[in-house]
Structure 1
């Protein structure tokens, strides 16, 4: 049972995290960052501890270059959330870890050198012990880069690199632990992990990639290829020309380069994808039906999740699916072994809340709210070892095991919501007023969303309808 806002409980500060009610949020990086302040207010108002579960399958942007050279997890979304959680009291650290090197390779190399020597203006307001620690981690990363350098065919490209990504990778290589690297960045940034924790869906020093199967039989390998059309990125040699002295580079992949990927790996998983488009998205040839994990050769695999994720979900009173990319930000965490069981099990989380996107993207073109719910239910069931021909073949009676509440907007471009059909299968809908973005897309109003989430979390019995809806049907 939830404590009321007026209830006072005196417990030692070291036990606050144990006594707080627990919420788990499945999300990706950039899109869900816009709701961090909303989630912070919800946990403050409801005396909750919150855990973000973030996938590590992102192989685009500056993460792709780190994966190419060092292997390891896709850290971009984890870094993005950690940096977003850094409080204003640590603005200088936030600015450093949020900074990206220039898009020009030459300028990026020069600026990284100032970070190594300590002459970068980004260090100006950072305390000396912290600055020295950051320099030490980046110096260790630089040493590892030099050890792996094979000029002229293979050199590390600092173009548009995120300082936070470089730091996390350097700390992981130094400590041998991805979790240790996350802890170091969080503690330096002043993130209060007793209130808000960031967990990678998988804890590993190896890369984990996903594939998507489309309704027309097409298979797309690699998260970046699924989400965004990418632009080829040529690696430069010491003379500024393309790598390989005449070797043809196709889609950013040079077969002569020796890097961290295994021989025979799929070319789409080996290429660097530093530049890609988030705005101009080409449509897929057909709708996505399913997502699964693959090894470097494209064969399906079923990895185990971070044990802390299973623990967090198993003890949570509420599970939330944030806005963002359905198939590359949410589902990669749900399909891991045991996660579906932890979400669906009897006596588990009482509230399973899907915050529906305010618009459709490349991954969900033509989807309705029913499709979103069915896709999540299918992912949960496949985590438990069940297979389906399509999301439409998932029995509606399974839906409420994974989604009990759906929060949505109305307006042009918003996924269609069939309230009666969802209610038939035990999913309660909460419709909110929204606002228009400069691009004309529907966006959630922060305070309305806080009120809706708090109203759901305040229910005493599953199935009790909300009395604080912001818009009556």
Structure 2
């Protein structure tokens, strides 16, 4: 990617969807104060929710997090303005009842839905053109009464993005179109998919006990009891009992009508409905994430060249809050990412530590600490360019997988993480400042607000205060950053928001 040597170096944020959306205004303020571009790197491995049905019928990348970020970036506007109406349209989800959802979709396609109110005819007809194209493609693929598209809880924004991708043949062109319609200033803020592809890319996870979970939704937010597979002797995860069931899927849809050759049965299930707050704990820690092809074999897809270009021209790299193994690491393990981060001119590589422990960074008996987060990020980066630190080797002749003891070569932690911003309180990951200092990593504790359980009785984590986080990022990135020494500040941050204050309700 060609860059202008005189242009200000940008900020690169690795993130997923919903969690990081809460910090969009924070990053926007830092970008504005630094007068530089801001790039969000978003993975496309999500196979849950509305995206799962689009992938089932059309294939293609998981687009939900990309759409979510683009719509979140729409500038604030008066409630009755066209921009507000467009934001509402692309944020809208269809009814949770299948029949009602189908009728609602038809009213949107017909142009009679109330969601079109306040949108000018010119823009309405442009958007409707892509809805009509998608609707035609859905009808062409229908095989009633079994193989039909399920509109239940479908995201209208996801439907538009898919229609635009099918029309243009380009995922990034579809992103550009949605961003342009939404008024996102692409010269200042960029939403870039980690992989530029029109095909689905799924991930698998191995646990420390050797079992394997297939598919991002099953790893992060399973809609049913997580299917745990024993470690395979070969890269293929298509087990014998699954091969016997490959002639038809669980919902009676003829396999040959609906799925690509070799598609894993565990990836053919609908994952439309799931809970992000109520999930079972994993039996052991996640040890590794990798990409798989439709047959379940490990692959090493290359990163989007635009992502590599942004990293190579960055003044700061930020690993945002969110699911560590399904929001951050799927981008880091892509071929080229580790090398780009190692060679990046960015002096500051900042991890914003989660304010709570989730399913991926458990189990409760052995939760991840800040050191574990750093190690996972560094190992992912090293894995992206085959450094062998994972101790996992593939025989090129037989495709057999063998696992050996982890390499004794120390991981270059500070090449991936130089600073950690974190909260402290019930439910937050433990931060061992002395151990992190030995690793060469600076830490800064921030003010936050407690998060309670649904019944309001239990504190489950802490949420960042936007003002404190903006100030901390600016300090680390140049406004007094050299004065920071392992969790204390000599000045520059409002004392009311500092690290030594207790966490407030």
The TM-score, its normalising length taken from structure 2, stands at 0.84
For 1:267, the equivalent position in structure 2 comes to: 265
Q: Quick one: structure 1 residues 18 and 200, their matched pair in 2 at CA, closer, same or farther if it must change by over 3 Å? A: farther
d(CA) in 2 for partners of 1:435 and 1:186?
33
Report the more deviating stretch, 173-182 or 385-394. 385-394
Where do 5+ consecutive residues of structure 2 fail to align? 78-82, 226-244, 392-404, 454-458
1:359 is aligned, of 334, 356, 364, to 356
Q: Say if 2:239 is the partner of 1:219.
A: no
Give the count of matched residue pairs: 444
d(CA) in 1 for partners of 2:47 and 2:432?
35
Does the CA contact (< 8 Å) of 1:101 and 1:162 recur in 2? yes
Q: Quick one: structure 1 residues 392 and 442, their matched pair in 2 at CA, closer, same or farther if it must change by over 3 Å? A: farther
For 2:463, the equivalent position in structure 1 comes to: 443
For 2:159, the equivalent position in structure 1 comes to: 166
Does the CA contact (< 8 Å) of 2:14 and 2:320 recur in 1? yes
For 2:76, the equivalent position in structure 1 comes to: 88
d(CA) in 2 for partners of 1:36 and 1:130?
26
For 2:293, the equivalent position in structure 1 comes to: 295
Q: Say if 2:185 is the partner of 1:192.
A: yes
Q: Say if 2:144 is the partner of 1:148.
A: no
For 2:60, the equivalent position in structure 1 comes to: 72
For 1:7, the equivalent position in structure 2 comes to: none
Describe how 1:36-185 pairs up with structure 2 within 5 A: 36-89=24-77, 90-185=83-178
Deviation at 1:88, TM superposition (A): 1.9
d(CA) in 2 for partners of 1:66 and 1:252?
18
d(CA) in 1 for partners of 2:6 and 2:58?
37
Q: Quick one: structure 1 residues 405 and 355, their matched pair in 2 at CA, closer, same or farther if it must change by over 3 Å? A: same
Report the more deviating stretch, 457-466 or 200-209. 457-466
Does the CA contact (< 8 Å) of 1:71 and 1:260 recur in 2? no
Deviation digits for residues 258-296 of structure 1, max 9, x if unmatched?
A: 455323321111121101111111011210000000001
d(CA) in 1 for partners of 2:499 and 2:184?
35
Where do 5+ consecutive residues of structure 1 fail to align? 1-14, 233-246
Does the CA contact (< 8 Å) of 2:12 and 2:318 recur in 1? yes
Report the more deviating stretch, 177-186 or 387-396. 387-396
d(CA) in 1 for partners of 2:125 and 2:92?
18
d(CA) in 2 for partners of 1:252 and 1:278?
24
d(CA) in 1 for partners of 2:411 and 2:157?
44
Q: Say if 2:405 is the partner of 1:430.
A: no
Q: Say if 2:411 is the partner of 1:418.
A: no
Does the CA contact (< 8 Å) of 1:70 and 1:259 recur in 2? no
Q: Quick one: structure 1 residues 394 and 118, their matched pair in 2 at CA, closer, same or farther if it must change by over 3 Å? A: farther
d(CA) in 2 for partners of 1:373 and 1:382?
14
Deviation digits for residues 128-165 of structure 1, max 9, x if unmatched?
A: 11100111100000000111111122000000000000
d(CA) in 2 for partners of 1:457 and 1:142?
47
* Helix, strand or coil at the partner of 2:29: helix
2:277 is aligned, of 273, 276, 279, to 279
For 1:30, the equivalent position in structure 2 comes to: 18
For 1:203, the equivalent position in structure 2 comes to: 196
d(CA) in 1 for partners of 2:25 and 2:408?
35
d(CA) in 1 for partners of 2:373 and 2:249?
32
d(CA) in 2 for partners of 1:456 and 1:109?
50
Does the CA contact (< 8 Å) of 2:20 and 2:322 recur in 1? yes
Describe how 1:316-335 pairs up with structure 2 within 5 A: 316-335=314-333
Q: Quick one: structure 1 residues 211 and 338, their matched pair in 2 at CA, closer, same or farther if it must change by over 3 Å? A: same
d(CA) in 2 for partners of 1:18 and 1:63?
40
Q: Quick one: structure 1 residues 394 and 259, their matched pair in 2 at CA, closer, same or farther if it must change by over 3 Å? A: farther
Describe how 1:315-394 pairs up with structure 2 within 5 A: 315-345=313-343, 348-365=345-362, 366-389=367-390
Deviation at 1:85, TM superposition (A): 0.3
d(CA) in 2 for partners of 1:444 and 1:393?
36
* Helix, strand or coil at the partner of 2:359: coil
Q: Quick one: structure 1 residues 332 and 394, their matched pair in 2 at CA, closer, same or farther if it must change by over 3 Å? A: farther
* Helix, strand or coil at the partner of 1:406: strand
d(CA) in 2 for partners of 1:73 and 1:463?
44
Q: Quick one: structure 1 residues 87 and 357, their matched pair in 2 at CA, closer, same or farther if it must change by over 3 Å? A: same
Q: Quick one: structure 1 residues 195 and 329, their matched pair in 2 at CA, closer, same or farther if it must change by over 3 Å? A: same
Deviation digits for residues 146-194 of structure 1, max 9, x if unmatched?
A: 1111112200000000000000000000111111110111010000111
Does the CA contact (< 8 Å) of 1:68 and 1:259 recur in 2? no
Q: Quick one: structure 1 residues 249 and 265, their matched pair in 2 at CA, closer, same or farther if it must change by over 3 Å? A: closer
